[in-house]
């Protein structure tokens, strides 16, 4: 851009910032010439300048592949030096080879591994106040503590080397006795001393916990495990295989059932309890844990309770629901809570009420007259769904009522025409026909009653019709029923 401006200036012959530009270029020159590409002689380069860089690669001499430099360059000087070990209390000087670069006054690198465990010592007064034990003398306790210190709490070794002279009648001490004495003394000492840091105190006390009875029980279990005869072992093995087989069958069965449920009921969500049962069964029967003898230390309950899935906590709280706009549909209490009754989640609009198949066309027709499409709601909210449902219900009732009314009208017409015929013929035997009408009338009445109960029709015209038909039919029945009864008695 700058160049183009300069061009414009020169073209327009405007004197301006030409001089500083030139100076900069002059300054840059020497720094570029420093980078002389290899393979071009100095004279040639000074002639052609930096304008032929593409040639440089071809001009470079071919060379062999560079040897890798693995040593990091240069030789390392080693020297034989005597050293003193900081972990030693005497003045022994041993010699070893070290790099000459290492500081001769530096500490011996392995001295830091000489870590001594903390030793607990007590005053006679302290012993008298806290540590008295009828089973132990102070001397023996001190002997034990020295051994523990000497063998760094390796209890098996301590027990092996424990040779405190005791009375003939006293039995030798078991490893648990030694451990219990040591830990109890430590606990008491920690408890009765003042500590700057309470956390450290509780931490140390936790470290010193020891339950002799528990340990002895554990050892007895181990012994009984170890003393199993080959027959028992074999039986155990057979039982274990049997359990595995059963478990496998169970799992297979469950898998198949789940598959079926998925196909039939469309349950996509997992069935949590199936996984649960598997987990708890396999945990409780894991033989390796049993054989290792470790499980006696681990309490059994947490393992078994841990994998049980937590059911989503039900907030039955009405206030909570209102706050979060949650509306609960109570599941029907009658159906048992089995897999078969499981209802997957669904959209509300999927479950819109459908009119009865027999009268569906007429309902649709009526709704169409009103300009409503009953099988699709633009906004299927809960209220809208309820409204649609009641609308469909009333429409159905209306259709039914109208059907009844039509029928009644027709009956009345027929009866009137019959009456006219009879009046014309004057006298005649009409009992049979009356009976027939009777029957149909009873039927009508019942139907009417039902219609009344179901529907609360809104159109006044319908109501009027209804009333009329009711009155007629009731009159009819009241008249005809006794007649019929008399007739039947006569026949009998």
Nearer to other proteins, 183 or 296 (CB): 296
Residue numbers 169-188 binding other proteins by CB under 8 A: 175
Q: Kindly report the number of other CB atoms within 10 A of residue 363's CB atom.
A: 19
Which of 404-420 are b and which e, b meaning 16 or more Cβ less than 10 Å from the residue's Cβ? bbebbeebeeebeeeee
Cα separation, 106 vs 260, in Å, equals: 76
Region binding other proteins by CB under 8 A among candidate stretches 106-114, 189-197, 368-376, 431-439? 106-114
Does position 161 interact with other proteins (CB under 8 A)? The reply is yes
Given 114, 232, 335, 381, the residue binding other proteins (CB under 8 A) = 114
Please give the structure tokens belonging to residue 476: 């009819």
Region binding other proteins by CB under 8 A among candidate stretches 87-95, 299-307, 358-366, 461-469? 87-95
Given 122, 136, 145, 159, the residue binding other proteins (CB under 8 A) = 159
Nearer to other proteins, 233 or 414 (CB): 233
Beta-bridge partners for 78: 99
What H or E segment, with its residue span, contains residue 285?
none
> 364: Cβ–Cβ under 8 A, 6 or more apart, which residues?
355, 374
Does position 149 interact with other proteins (CB under 8 A)? The reply is no
Q: What's the start-to-end Cα distance of the chain, in Å?
A: 128
Closest distance of CB 256 from other proteins, Å: 37
Does position 222 interact with other proteins (CB under 8 A)? The reply is yes
Nearer to other proteins, 175 or 352 (CB): 175
Beta-bridge partners for 82: 95
Q: What is the DSSP letter of 351?
A: G
Closest distance of CB 80 from other proteins, Å: 9
Nearest residue to 140 (alpha-carbon basis) of 178, 111, 168, 110: 178
Cα separation, 21 vs 441, in Å, equals: 120
Does position 107 interact with other proteins (CB under 8 A)? The reply is no
In contact, 384 and 377? CB cutoff 8 Å: yes
Does position 297 interact with other proteins (CB under 8 A)? The reply is no
Does position 97 interact with other proteins (CB under 8 A)? The reply is yes
Cα separation, 258 vs 272, in Å, equals: 11
Q: What is the DSSP letter of 122?
A: -
Closest distance of CB 330 from other proteins, Å: 58
Does position 119 interact with other proteins (CB under 8 A)? The reply is no
Nearer to other proteins, 12 or 115 (CB): 115
Cα separation, 205 vs 353, in Å, equals: 71
Nearest residue to 148 (alpha-carbon basis) of 188, 180, 113, 111: 180
Closest distance of CB 222 from other proteins, Å: 5
Given 15, 156, 357, 490, the residue binding other proteins (CB under 8 A) = 156
Nearest residue to 285 (alpha-carbon basis) of 335, 336, 250: 250
Does position 157 interact with other proteins (CB under 8 A)? The reply is yes
Does position 229 interact with other proteins (CB under 8 A)? The reply is no
Nearest residue to 164 (alpha-carbon basis) of 132, 133, 140: 140
Does position 154 interact with other proteins (CB under 8 A)? The reply is yes
Region binding other proteins by CB under 8 A among candidate stretches 156-164, 180-188, 199-207, 263-271? 156-164
Does position 101 interact with other proteins (CB under 8 A)? The reply is no
Closest distance of CB 169 from other proteins, Å: 22
Nearer to other proteins, 150 or 409 (CB): 150
Region binding other proteins by CB under 8 A among candidate stretches 4-12, 48-56, 94-102, 266-274? 94-102
Number of residues that bind other proteins (CB under 8 A): 29
Does position 111 interact with other proteins (CB under 8 A)? The reply is yes
Does position 471 interact with other proteins (CB under 8 A)? The reply is no
CA distances from 213 to 210, 216, 219, 290, 299 (A): 9, 5, 10, 20, 15
Cα separation, 484 vs 434, in Å, equals: 9
Residue ranges in contact with other proteins by CB under 8 A: 85, 87-88, 90-92, 94-97, 108-111, 113-114, 150-151, 154, 156-157, 159-161, 175, 219, 222-223, 226
């Amino acid at each position: 851009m700058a160049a183009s401006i300069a061009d414009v200036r020169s073209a327009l012959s405007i004197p301006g910032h030409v001089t500083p530009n030139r100076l900069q270029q002059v300054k840059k020159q020497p720094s570029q010439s420093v980078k002389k590409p290899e393979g071009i002689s100095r004279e040639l380069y000074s002639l052609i300048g930096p304008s032929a860089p593409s040639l440089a690669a071809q001009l470079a001499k071919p060379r062999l592949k560079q040897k890798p430099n693995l040593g990091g360059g240069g030789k390392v000087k080693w020297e034989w030096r005597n050293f003193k070990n900081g972990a030693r209390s005497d003045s022994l000087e041993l010699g070893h080879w070290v790099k000459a670069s290492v500081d001769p006054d530096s500490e011996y690198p392995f001295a830091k591994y000489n870590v001594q465990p903390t030793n607990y010592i007590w005053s006679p007064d302290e012993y008298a106040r806290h540590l008295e034990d009828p089973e132990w003398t102070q001397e023996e306790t001190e002997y034990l503590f020295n051994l523990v210190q000497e063998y760094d709490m390796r209890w098996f070794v301590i027990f092996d080397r424990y040779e405190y002279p005791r009375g003939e009648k006293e039995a030798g001490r078991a490893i648990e006795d030694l451990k219990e004495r040591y830990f109890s003394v430590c606990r008491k000492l920690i408890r009765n001393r003042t500590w700057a840091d309470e956390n450290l105190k509780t931490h140390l006390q936790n470290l010193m916990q020891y339950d002799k009875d528990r340990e002895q029980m554990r050892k007895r279990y181990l012994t009984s495990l170890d003393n199993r005869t080959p027959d028992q072992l074999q039986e155990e093995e057979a039982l274990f295989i049997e359990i595995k087989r059963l478990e496998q069958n169970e799992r297979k069965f469950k898998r198949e059932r789940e598959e079926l449920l998925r196909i039939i009921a469309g349950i996509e969500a997992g069935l949590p309890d199936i996984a649960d049962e598997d987990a708890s069964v396999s945990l409780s029967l894991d033989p390796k844990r049993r054989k290792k003898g470790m499980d006696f230390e681990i309490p059994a309950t947490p393992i078994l309770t841990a994998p049980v899935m937590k059911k989503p906590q039900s907030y039955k709280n009405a206030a909570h629901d209102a706050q979060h706009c949650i509306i609960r549909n109570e599941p029907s209490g009658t159906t048992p809570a089995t897999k078969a009754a499981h209802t997957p989640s669904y959209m509300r609009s999927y479950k819109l009420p459908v009119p009865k198949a027999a009268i569906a066309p007429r309902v649709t027709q009526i709704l169409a007259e009103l300009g409503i499409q009953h099988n699709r709601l633009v906004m299927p909210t809960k209220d809208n769904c309820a409204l649609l449902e009641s609308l469909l219900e009333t429409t159905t009732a209306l259709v039914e009522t109208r059907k009844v009314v039509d029928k009644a009208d027709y009956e009345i017409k027929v009866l009137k025409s019959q009456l006219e015929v009879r009046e014309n013929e004057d006298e005649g035997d009409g009992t049979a026909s009356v009976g027939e009408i009777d029957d149909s009338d009873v039927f009508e009445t019942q139907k009417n009653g039902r219609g009344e109960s179901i529907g609360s029709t809104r159109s006044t015209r319908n109501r009027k019709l209804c009333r009329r038909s009711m009155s007629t039919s009731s009159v009819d029945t009241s008249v005809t029923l006794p007649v019929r009864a008399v007739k039947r008695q006569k026949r009998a």
